[in-house]
Amino acid sequence: MEEKRKVKRDEVNPMGYYESEHTKNVRDWKEVFDFLIKDPTFLPASPELEDDEMRTLSNQWPENPPQFSLLMFAREVCQEYAREVEKLGYKLLELIALSLGLPSNRFNGYFEDQLSRMRLNHYPPCPCPELALGVGRHKDAGALTIVAQDDVGGLQVKRKSDGVWVPVKPTSNALVINVGDIIQVWSNEAYESVEHRVVVNSERERFSIPIFFFPSHYVRVKPLEELVNEGNPPKYKPYNFGKFNAARNRSNFKKLKVQNIQISDFKII
């Protein structure tokens, strides 16, 4: 516990260990460890649009024990895994671009100073699983999320047609790919990001490892010009990803009275 505290993340540095993240203002039944794929990186100091101040964000790795104990993964193993999954992420972004009739490298430039991060999720057994969620319902704010999960199960996606929560059954040696909000905006809703949540159980702890592909802080996220025209006008106003991310970071650390920032805030009705 002492070691976890030393690398605890907060609003100033959201990288490291954390055990009280909030999703939509409800505390999640989990503990996490986050690190950046590109370390260090830069991002806006605050969500306020008129504030130009930037700050450096860097990883906090535990020093003791040298064999990083949270998931018994060594730092090098995590970094190597992240590098391999990053390649897969680029491949998937290329396929998505092609499927939209765009050049395969259309999205690559957005990730030059990416804010992508990897997360180690630990969901302990919960004495009252019907009263808590490992992660409350949400959509991932990035472009893509690639998740490795163990064999316990708990991830569920909401089926749009009837609102039923459908379990994403663990399949060994398979990864779960989530389309995130940014692909929804870039594609002007040709792709939709999926609402999902994680349920917990009273018997077994669960581990999962998502990698969230986030673009560079200066990217203005908006429907791609090639995909919009008079018949298909842009469905979203542009927003700055760094500012969006800063606003999200703020809300992840405390209970607010209002819903945190969403792409629907930029929707053109």
Binding site for ligand AKG (CB under 6 A): 119, 121, 135, 140, 147, 149, 155, 196, 198, 208, 210
Q: 126 is in the binding site of which of Fe ion, ligand AKG, none (Cβ under 5 to 8 A by kind)?
A: none
Of 3 and 195, nearer to Fe ion (C-beta) is 195
Q: 149 is in the binding site of which of Fe ion, ligand AKG, none (Cβ under 5 to 8 A by kind)?
A: ligand AKG
Minimum Å gap between C-beta 172 and ligand AKG is: 15
Peptide bond into 124 cis (omega under 30): no
Give dist(CA 32, CA 118) in Å, integer: 10
Candidates 41-49, 53-61, 132-140, 252-260: pick the segment binding Fe ion (CB under 5 A): 132-140
Of 34 and 140, nearer to Fe ion (C-beta) is 140
Of 68 and 156, nearer to Fe ion (C-beta) is 156
Which residues on adjacent β-strands are paired with residue 198?
Answer: 135, 155
With contact defined as beta carbons under 8 Å apart, do 158 and 196 qualify? Answer: yes
**Count of positions on this chain that bind Fe ion (CB under 5 A):** 1
Candidates 4-12, 40-48, 86-94, 136-144: pick the segment binding Fe ion (CB under 5 A): 136-144
Give dist(CA 253, CA 20) in Å, integer: 7
With contact defined as beta carbons under 8 Å apart, do 95 and 106 qualify? Answer: no
Could you identify the residue written with the tokens 């663990």? 170
Q: 147 is in the binding site of which of ligand AKG, Fe ion, none (Cβ under 5 to 8 A by kind)?
A: ligand AKG
Of 68 and 123, nearer to ligand AKG (C-beta) is 123
Q: 9 is in the binding site of which of Fe ion, ligand AKG, none (Cβ under 5 to 8 A by kind)?
A: none
Of 169 and 220, nearer to ligand AKG (C-beta) is 169
Neighbours of 266 (CB within 10 A): 17
Our finding on whether 140 is near Fe ion (CB under 5 A) is yes
Minimum Å gap between C-beta 119 and ligand AKG is: 6
Phi first, then psi, for residue 152 (nearest 5°) are: -75, -40
Give dist(CA 55, CA 67) in Å, integer: 30
Q: 208 is in the binding site of which of Fe ion, ligand AKG, none (Cβ under 5 to 8 A by kind)?
A: ligand AKG
Give dist(CA 26, CA 177) in Å, integer: 25
Minimum Å gap between C-beta 45 and ligand AKG is: 24
CA-derived radius of gyration, the chain? 18
**226 burial type by CB count under 10 A (0-12 exposed, 13-18 middle, 19+ buried):** exposed
CA 154 to chain centre: 17
Note the residues at the interface with Fe ion (CB under 5 A): 140
